[in-house]
Structure 1
Amino acid sequence: MPERELDHVDKFPRAFLDNLGVGISLVDVARGQIVFANTECARIFGCSQQELNSGQITFIELTHPEDRDRNLAEHHRLLKGEIRQYRLRKRYLRRDGSVVWARVAVNGISDSAGTLRWCCAVLEDITEKVRLEQQLSLAVRVSGMATWSYVVRTNTSETSKTYNSVFGVGENEGAPSLDELLRRVHPDDRKSVATTIQRAIATGSGYAQEYRIVQENGHVRWLRSMASCTLDTAGCVTHLFGATIDITESKNRIQHRSPKQMSEMLAYIDENWNEPLSIDLLAKQAGCSSRKIHRFFASEGTTAVAHIKKVRLRHSRQQLSNPERGTTVTGVALACCFQNVGHFARDYRNEFGELPSETLKQARSSER
């Protein structure tokens, strides 16, 4: 067992060490043997405290085989005096064969003569966090979603591996700056996207937006981006964190699967979204019965009214995000054929996660 310099450990109230909420262990650096571990540490390792405190178990034998070399490399650097502490995210292999992930902070401790004798490891069980990260990673791969972060101060970004494929650029091409991103946006949507991002940075608000990009091969794709902001202590935005997904197929699905009559009817809605529209009018334009219109939208899991509303809401958001002098929520609602402003506000919030007045206010703030 260690010398009397370790006697103070036993004098700590055990209740204090056992109720810290993190694992605490003390390791003899020369032998790598655990000489003290609290209750949480025993739970993480899947051993009894008595077994751990016997001085017969090394931290390496508890470490998952795939993480041992990395852990030993840091431990040897500690022994050589190259570092006084290190941090790892590693796995432990428990006695029952289960795996526990932990975030470990290790600090060297010297004896009264100044010789490095022990290291104290503080362990935080992050198994559930890692599982959630793995599930998210799988969901991202399956969905084709690209995740990204943008650093405002340096105008630089970091992107997931799927980002380049979504934007149709080379696999080894670096993460784009904001200007480079905007150059990839369709010219007709570029101003709206730039305004939305600038407003988020100016106000600290998140956003959700649909827009088109032009890939290097000339193909036009529809994307949906969602972002949130991180603020510093002064309330200024430091980062934007977001996800982008290609929604081209869902945008084109109805048109691709529709017979000629229905495609023409959908095109008529897109061209006349700011005019009064009725089932009878759509049927007349398509040259079919109203029942056929109802059956078509039902086969797509929606209704004609819901589809028209979604088209109009998209146009209303474009107007509110890029307001002209004198733009009001009521004016936009009426221009988009919403007769009840209260219902318009409700539907808008359900679609975009914020009230139309909030979109307009944020757009005005970003103009100042």
Structure 2
Amino acid sequence: MRSKGQQPNLQRKLTALVAGLCLTIILTVCFMVAVVQVQSAITAYTWGESVWSNAQIETVQHLDHFAETGNFSELAQARDSLGIPIGDLHARIAITSENLDWQRARNGLLQGGNHAEDLTRMILLIRLFSWLDQLERAIAAWAETDEQLLELDQIGNAMEREWLETSPSRDKLEALRERLAVLNVSLQKSARKFRLAMGDASRWSASFLSVVSAGFLILVALLSWYLGFRLVRLLKRTEQNFRSIFEQSAIGIIRIDTEGRIVNANRATYDILGYQPDELVPRPYRELVHPEDWDVAREERRAINSGAIDSYTTEHRLVRKDNTLLWARLTASRVWDAPSASAYFTTVLEDISESHRLSTELSYMATHDSLTGLINRREFEHQLASHLGRARNENTQHALCYVDLDQFKVANDTSGHDAGDQLLRQVANIISNNLREADTLARLGGDEFGIILQNCDLKTAGQVAEKVRAALDHLVFTWQETSHTISCSIGVVPINNESSGISALMKAADIACYTAKDSGRNRVSVMSLDDEHMASQQGQMEWHNRIQTALQENLLFLECQLITPTNRQSNGLRYEVLVRMRSAGGSVVPPSAFLPPAERYGMAARIDRWVIENVLENLSQVPEHLAALEACHINLSGRSFDQADFADFVVDLFDHYQVPPNKICFEITETAAVHNLLEIQSFMKRLSLMGCSFALDDFGSGLSSFGYLRRLPVNCLKIDGMFVRDIETDKTDFAMVRAIHDIGRTMNMITVAEYVESEQARVLLGQIGVDLVQGFGIHKPCPLQDILAMAPSRLSKQVARPKGHTE
């Protein structure tokens, strides 16, 4: 018989037991809710990663468009897109810092495109569970992108600065585009690592929940059938929560059995594929895959079926119900179903069609010229390497053609860049129409094109090149009622098993093209690799290194030649500065040996800068000489005007050395004036306002001088020496000199005759009225330092009494 004292004790035990069980239930419910929050947070991060990835790809796409077109709206869109991953970056830093900054974290996640209702759980997931291995890997993968995102911003700024320049450098822009492509690949890899890590976190949380739930069921079953009933209700509630997450997920989730049939799918899957639930279940998954992609990830499927791996990610095409295609990223995970003692597969499906399209476009733009649609130099050299490999391995022969348009710059400068672009498109079409389908045509840059003639011997290649040349020669390009004729120079070299490499082939073709231009333009030059002329031209190219060494080791020096009046009425000191070069052994190298290759291979601009700086530096140190100086003539190469900062460079030198600009007369050749008209006009206008004067050198040597003369602010005409040299015996030369002088006088210009080699020639020129004369018969060039060291009064007498003059 139970005593009365036992009742309260039992009641207390029951109360304690019920309280303990209730506490267990409460703790379990709290745990389940926390798990749901964790799962929701993981799902939110998965969704956020998709937004992040698309924004990153759009950033790269817009930056690439901006680099190509200079359209600043593309830069603005790129920066807007970049703001999404940058917002996520700021959020992560705020969350993982020692002191949590809630407001900064929430603002960053909102900027990153995340839903406002997910922010708290997303912050707490990282803050409380970052010690988990899966989340540690996800955060590490996330952090890997920080420097790359900041570099994207830096690349955008670099592109902006480049496009703000007067003449953006295509080489710099191309280098930025290449770095952009590298960053894109790296960022995609980091994004994939993040997805995989978050997938692992999702699976881990699901497994952990299963274990805890099973333990709770056992505990409740042992304590009471009533609590078991409550536990069932709790599990049902939990199942409903998971079902809600499953159905509301923005990405597709598919359950597939070991036979490959679809067992279940969420609403997002039906929306993505366009099927109704009864149409998709139990359909074989293979029927959704594009037939051409059936073998994609075959080895991974075998490995996951055998249990060798737990999951894998792949990308392939799926066929919607309406037979349209989509690109999908699928992450398949193997799950063991304990009750049925069998496995099934959970597949997460993401529609990446837009991302894949953007990636494909980016890849296309990296290998193609946006203006003509032809492949670019990078891809052309890649295909050239392929043809060279086949020539070596299969003993086949191909041909490489280098095409350079002859009058493109004139059309581009006179009719505008839009006209130039349209002309390049027409040229590309004409060349393409004269090639076989197997041949390769590329735009190498500017007005240069490259052709690879497949399985073509050198003789046939020359005939094809001649056909292309003739087709372009017949082109009459009309733009806004202005017509332009165009021609081209083509260099042809063989591609065979004796070819040494891509660089050598391109150099050889360039030399052959230069030979065609040097021979009069509008022609084809066919050369074999052992051609004597080819060897001679390659020798000229070696001058590039010699001139480079001369600039670095100060082997250049300056001479000058006096320019004297034909009468004694003017005592002003005037001379032309001439650049000379010493060899490594100390001997003087003739100008005719190093100046042409310097012009050809891009060193002339550096020589010009060296000359200008050295002349101004020397003049600044001799104030008495500077006071007596009327004009120091400095020659400028047309190559200098290809550089956007040349005028700034010259202006800065005047400011630095404080030499009066009116003491300097820049000489520009007729050829340079014709081919760099707009750039030279801008340069002359700016320097003329400062006080500099300009001389048109070698005037009369071409057919365009008279037409361009009025468009240039020229103070002085230097009559080409070919008319002056034989003026004593050739009546035609005498008449030409008189005519040129008359033109100069009509336009209030000083006239200078070059190559005056005798006293008789000087007298004749004086009779014509030519103002100044220059040549070996007047004064032989001497070191500039000798002139600077001579007393101004003595120099004035020498100018007044030129060589050969007697009173």
**Which category describes the TM-score, using the shorter chain as reference length?**
0.3 to 0.5
Structure with larger Rg? 2
The structure with more helix, counted as a fraction of residues: 2
Structure 2 length normalisation: TM-score? 0.21
How high is the TM-score relative to the length of structure 1?
0.42
**Which protein has the bigger strand share?**
1
